[in-house]
Amino acid sequence: MPKAIPVLRFGAFELNLQSRELRKQGMRIRIEAKPFQILELLLEHAGEVVTRQTLCEKLWPDTYVGYEHSLNTAVNKLRSILCDFAQSPRFVETLPRVGYRFIAPVYRPELARPRGTSKMLVVLPFESLSDEARTDSFADGLTEETTLQLSQLNPARLGVIARTCAVQYKWRKKSVREIAEELGVDYAIEGSVRREGRRTRITCQLIETRDQTHRWSASYDRDLRNALAVQTQVARQIRIALEAELLGIGGANRVATALKEEEARGQVKGTPVPRSSRPPRVQAPHLQAKSFQTAP
């Protein structure tokens, strides 16, 4: 397992403490040294008050007078970079004449692995290969349902990264290796959704991040007349397959049987019965009688 890179995330931003870089949705943002150091201190003490005196001692250790203006300037530059406002802050709150406090949630990927968990997995956002907005929405729902299904397998043996953390990689084009280093995961699920009319094809792959090799893959062709049922059915089939692949639960026969059951369940829920196979409509008795009356 590669050593996790020290990264702090908040909102759409990411602060890399090793490379000393700030990024927004994967795009590097230019930031001067003093605003960067202020942000670093605030993030490391998120939710706590960092006094102006502490900031002065850290950033201007050899200055005893005149640092007030420099501190105010650096904080204003930081707020400008974060698109934040002192009057209605989302990130940096001002405590007049006291200091500052970082008020947004801060996520530390290197701490994501639950204690005692042997392996970690992330479900990356399924990519929509169609231009339609509804296909993109369907892909998001499939990502959420797959994350939910896999998180219920065996948390003590297989931890699953939260969807709210994985969703950022929908906009950030990074390799599986880079994602693994940031999140500290052993496996990644990635896939795509293609749509043509009412038909959709869903592909899914399990990748071992250590050497970026495929451990498992599958494709699913479905009728999208019931999108929610399709999402649930496909996510369950992925769960059944990975339960065998990663946890060794159930042999090939059990997996095949379970998949057939899920397929049958999906046909009942997701696909309407063809008109040709529906039973003939039977008329009510009084209508039947009326239909056989002859004219006088």
For the residues of 107-130, what is the DSSP string, one character each? Answer: B-GGG-SPTT-SEEEEEPPPEE-S
Q: Which domain holds residue 78?
A: 7-102
* Count helices and strands in the chain by DSSP H and E runs: 9, 13
Alpha-carbon span 21 to 34, nearest angstrom: 13
CATH (domain of 148): 3.40.50.10070
Question: Quick one: pLDDT band at residue 90, thresholds 50, 70, 90?
Answer: confident
* pLDDT above 90 (res 220): yes
Question: Quick one: pLDDT band at residue 66, thresholds 50, 70, 90?
Answer: low
Q: Which is higher by pLDDT, 275 or 78? A: 78
Alpha-carbon span 125 to 166, nearest angstrom: 7
* pLDDT above 70 (res 115): no
Q: Kindly state the tokens that stand for 6.
A: 């020290």
Residues of the chain with pLDDT > 70: what percent? Answer: 77
Once rounded to an integer, what is the mean pLDDT over residues 57-77? 83
- Domain-located, residue 68: yes
Burial pattern 89-103, b for ≥16 Cβ within 10 A else e, equals: bebbbeeeeebbbbe
Instruction: Name the least confident of 95-104, 138-147, 160-169, 231-240.
Output: 160-169
> Which residues sit opposite 195 in a β-bridge?
200
Residue range 238-280, pLDDT digits in tens: 999 998 888 876 554 554 555 555 555 544 333 333 333 344 4
Query: Do 59 and 199 lie in a common domain?
Result: no
Alpha-carbon span 195 to 181, nearest angstrom: 33
CATH (domain of 57): 1.10.10.10
CB-CB contact of 4 with 181 (8 Å): yes
Query: Do 127 and 269 lie in a common domain?
Result: yes
Query: Do 210 and 130 lie in a common domain?
Result: yes
- Domain-located, residue 123: yes
Average pLDDT, the chain: 79
- Domain-located, residue 18: yes
Burial pattern 225-257, b for ≥16 Cβ within 10 A else e, equals: ebbebbbbbbbbbbbbbbbbebeeeeeeeebee
Find where tokens 């706590």 sit.
48
* pLDDT above 60 (res 112): no
φ/ψ bin of 97: left (φ > 0), alpha (ψ from -120 to 50), beta (otherwise): left
pLDDT at residue 117, rounded to an integer? 53
Please report, to the nearest 10 degrees, the dihedral formed by the alpha carbons of residues 118, 143, 10, 13 taken in order. Answer: 110
Find where tokens 């209605």 sit.
88
CB-CB contact of 36 with 81 (8 Å): no
Which range has highest mean pLDDT (130-134, 200-204, 278-282)?
Answer: 200-204
φ/ψ bin of 66: left (φ > 0), alpha (ψ from -120 to 50), beta (otherwise): left
* pLDDT above 50 (res 284): no
Q: Which is higher by pLDDT, 158 or 238? A: 238
Query: Do 91 and 137 lie in a common domain?
Result: no
* pLDDT above 50 (res 293): no
Of the residues 76, 102, 128, the one at which a domain ends:
102
Query: Do 173 and 47 lie in a common domain?
Result: no
H or E element, residue 200: strand 199-208
Alpha-carbon span 119 to 147, nearest angstrom: 15
CA 238: distance to chain centroid?
17
Alpha-carbon span 239 to 258, nearest angstrom: 11
Which range has highest mean pLDDT (65-74, 78-87, 106-115, 153-162)?
Answer: 78-87
pTM over 0.85? The answer is: no
CA nearest to 267, candidates 225, 211, 206, 235: 225
CA nearest to 21, candidates 11, 12, 31: 31
Q: Kindly state the tokens that stand for 169.
A: 């990689």
CB-count burial class (<10 Å; 0-12, 13-18, 19+) for 70: middle
pLDDT at residue 101, rounded to an integer? 93
- Domain-located, residue 175: yes
